[in-house]
DNA sequence: CTACCGGTGTGGTCGGACCACAGGATAGGG
DNA sequence: CCCTATCCTGTGGTCCGACCACACCGGTAG
């Protein structure tokens, strides 16, 4: 058992038992080290892990905001894990896009099935309004687009799926942006995307689950096909080739 | 910019550029510290984070197995994040179960749609055979059950979804096990589960996507209802109440 | 040729030290 | 009496140097 794990278990147990709650603070690193009979560096390693997991937020200084404060931020760790594993090429981008498709169509169906008030739809609505600005660059447009899709998936009321969706979008962002030049006519595409967004939102507002899900699916598929990205039919794998590709023994040594 | 992030960015960049690949090794902690102009403790914090993210595996000693070896293990970090955030009570178990239902039914549909050879189904098959043993305790049975469901979701060929499913099962495990006493008749339930599993596998083998998905959905819903767990209709939220519940100012101070 | 046994490099841990930062206590001036 | 400027204190952030346990690997004695 490595020493820093003592801290992780301690914190998890305290959380589960209610001794630690959101907004609460961890004891100081020195205190924690003494309590657990380990050194401060070990404690620090654990705190770093907790920070990376989105469980604490550290800040220097004094006062209630300083120290290691318990938070609940599942999105950043998910995003980080996703990005790192995409970088290893053992996580095919096609799988990520496929997952996004699944989560989003489900979210749209679920959101449409709920009875949503105008207030809940307002955020998404405003995003669409901002996307009508013709002066937006593809990057700005796509950022708003991502926000809209994330907001939509949040309307289904499942915080886990919403968190995963947010991470997926972040991971995909650079990928899809790099494919914009593949589009035959960006302006025409943007017009199409705008109207599709409006239609999706209308279906959600109107309480048409199946229709909303279909629109979302077509919307996403359509864009990826137009940008000549990920084939959805096959299961193209980036991992397998990378593995065969192992010849180079050019390690730093 | 914190110092340990230098290491994270360096490693991510090296991964993306192909300078680091699975099976490769990070430079030694001392070397890395010198290269980046930071201290060894800072490097160690970063390595700990990478380890927690499932990107490296550290080992002491000498030889090719020692040091920080690049791996691709997305399951453990996902599981850890899930467990920690469940512990904070800001991640409703109902959402987790709902997500599981979504991923599994999709996986079953997808797996049935593919043309799977007998070899690919063999693992799942063997698990079912082992579950026929009448002497299994509920815990042992449920472990095999979880393995079967995970194996099934792996047949869809999406490594991301399979990884997430594995994590979800781990997170759910204790929860569902604690509900076994709610069942009116464990033995009868086990018999039902066994036959449902066989039916699901048959639908997958027979290439009946919709049927497989329906069977999986019914299978999961049925069990949770029998065990009087998570209502699927409403969106019961554990988070909201926990927030209101904030009165206690009994922080350690 | 074989078996033993240090050398060497790896991560794991520790203690102590210093810094930057931010809030709060305190002493000073108005 | 109140307000303000200053110092004190506690926090994380970083670093250094040291020692340990471990596992391979090569030299050496048998």
Buried b / exposed e over B133-150, threshold 16 CB at 10 Å, is eeebebeebbbbbbbbbb
- C-beta separation of A99 from A84 below 8 A: no
Which of chain B's residues 61-80 bind strand C, using a 7 Å CB cutoff? 61-62, 66-68
Do A44 and A146 lie in one domain? The reply is no
What total number of domains does chain B contain?
2
Residues 6 or more apart whose Cβ sits within 8 Å of residue B131: B141, B144, B145, B148, B194, B197
The verdict on B163 and B201 lying in the same domain is yes
Specify the pLDDT at position A231: 60
Does residue A206 fall inside a structural domain?
yes
In this structure, the answer to whether residues A20 and A96 fall within a common structural domain is no
Q: Summarize pLDDT for B111-133 with one digit per residue, the tens.
A: 999 989 889 999 999 999 999 99
Q: Is the residue at B251 inside a domain?
A: no
Asked if residue B135 and residue B21 are part of one domain, the reply reads: no
Q: Is the CB of A18 under 7 A from strand C?
A: no
The pLDDT value recorded for residue A241 is: 41
Nearest by CB to residue B53, choosing from A84, A95, A157, is A84
The alpha carbon of residue B45 is apart from the nearest alpha carbon of chain A, in Å, by 5
- For residue A13, is it within any domain? yes
Specify the higher pLDDT residue, B23 or A117: B23
Query: How confident is the model over B157-209, as pLDDT tens digits?
Result: 999 999 999 999 999 998 889 898 999 899 999 999 999 999 999 999 999 99
Residue B231 is predicted with a pLDDT of: 60
Closest by Cα among B189, B56, B44 to A88: B56
Interval B74-111: pLDDT, tens: 999 999 999 999 999 999 999 999 999 999 999 999 99
Query: A175 in a domain, yes or no?
Result: yes
Residue A244 confidence (pLDDT) above 70: no
User: Do B146 and B160 fall into the same domain?
Assistant: yes
* pLDDT tens readout for residues A128-183: 999 999 899 999 999 999 999 999 999 999 999 999 999 999 999 988 898 989 99
Q: How far apart are CA B63 and CA B66, in angstroms?
A: 6
Predicted ipTM? 0.89
A182 and A121 within one domain? yes
Contacts of residue A164 in chain B, CB cutoff 8 Å? 99, 164
Q: Which residues of B touch A98 (CB under 8 A)?
A: 158, 160-161
Does a structural domain hold residue B167?
yes
Q: Nearest-CA distance from B81 to chain A in Å? A: 6
| Residues B65 and B84 occupy one common structural domain | no
pLDDT at B241 over 50: no
In a domain, A167, yes or no: yes
Instruction: Give, in Å, how far the C1' of D30 lies from the CA of B63.
Output: 28
Domain boundary among B70, B86, B105: B70
pLDDT at A232: 59
Could you tell me which of B28, B34, B31 has the C-alpha nearest to residue B60?
B28
Q: Which domain holds residue A65?
A: 3-70
Domain end among B70, B89, B104: B70
**Do residues A8 and A83 both lie within one domain?**
no
Judge if A131 and A54 occupy the same domain. no
Task: Find the CATH number of the domain harbouring B205.
Answer: 1.20.120.530
Cβ–Cβ gap A48/B48 under 8 Å: yes
User: Could you tell me if A53 and B52 are in contact, meaning their C-beta atoms sit under 8 angstroms apart?
Assistant: yes
Residues of B in contact with A175 (CB under 8 A): none
Of residues B23, B77, B92, nearest to A81 (C-beta): B77
Which helix (H) or strand (E) element contains residue A230?
A: none
Query: Within 10-29 of chain B, which residues have Cβ less than 7 Å from strand C?
Result: 26, 28-29
Strand C bases near protein CB (under 7 Å) are: 7-17, 20-24
Same domain flag for A132 and A160: yes
- Min CA distance, A198 vs chain B (Å)? 26
- Picking from A46, A78, A91, the nearest residue to B159 by CB comes out as A91
| Residue in A46, A72, A90 nearest the CB of B72 | A90
If asked whether residues A49 and A128 sit together in one domain, one would say: no
Same-domain check for residues A35 and A56: yes
Element spanning A59, H or E:
strand A56-59
CATH number of the structural domain spanning residue B16: 1.10.10.10
First to last CA, chain A: 29
Q: Flag whether pLDDT at A81 surpasses 50.
A: yes
């Amino acid at each position: 058992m490595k020493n820093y794990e003592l801290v992780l278990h301690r914190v998890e147990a305290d959380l589960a038992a209610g001794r630690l709650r959101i907004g609460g603070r961890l004891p100081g690193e020195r205190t924690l080290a003494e309590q657990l009979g380990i050194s401060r560096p070990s404690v620090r390693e654990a705190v770093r892990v907790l920070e990376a997991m989105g469980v604490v937020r550290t800040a220097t200084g004094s006062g209630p905001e300083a120290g290691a404060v318990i938070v609940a931020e599942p999105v950043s760790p998910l995003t980080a894990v996703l990005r790192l594993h995409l970088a290893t090429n053992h996580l095919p981008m096609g799988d990520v896009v496929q997952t996004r498709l699944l989560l989003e169509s489900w979210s749209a169906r679920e959101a449409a099935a709920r009875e949503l008030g105008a207030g809940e739809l307002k955020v998404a609505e405003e995003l669409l309004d901002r996307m009508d600005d013709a002066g937006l660059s593809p990057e700005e447009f796509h950022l708003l687009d991502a926000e809209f899709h994330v907001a939509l998936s949040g309307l289904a009321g499942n915080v886990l799926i919403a968190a995963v969706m947010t991470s997926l979008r972040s991971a995909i962002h650079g990928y899809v942006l790099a494919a914009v030049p593949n589009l035959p006519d960006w302006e025409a595409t943007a017009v199409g995307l705008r109207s599709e967004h409006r239609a999706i939102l209308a279906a959600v507002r109107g309480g048409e689950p199946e229709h909303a899900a279909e629109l979302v699916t077509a919307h996403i598929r359509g864009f990826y096909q137009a940008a000549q990205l990920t084939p959805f039919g096959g299961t193209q794998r980036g991992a397998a080739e990378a593995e065969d590709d192992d010849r180079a023994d050019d390690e730093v040594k």
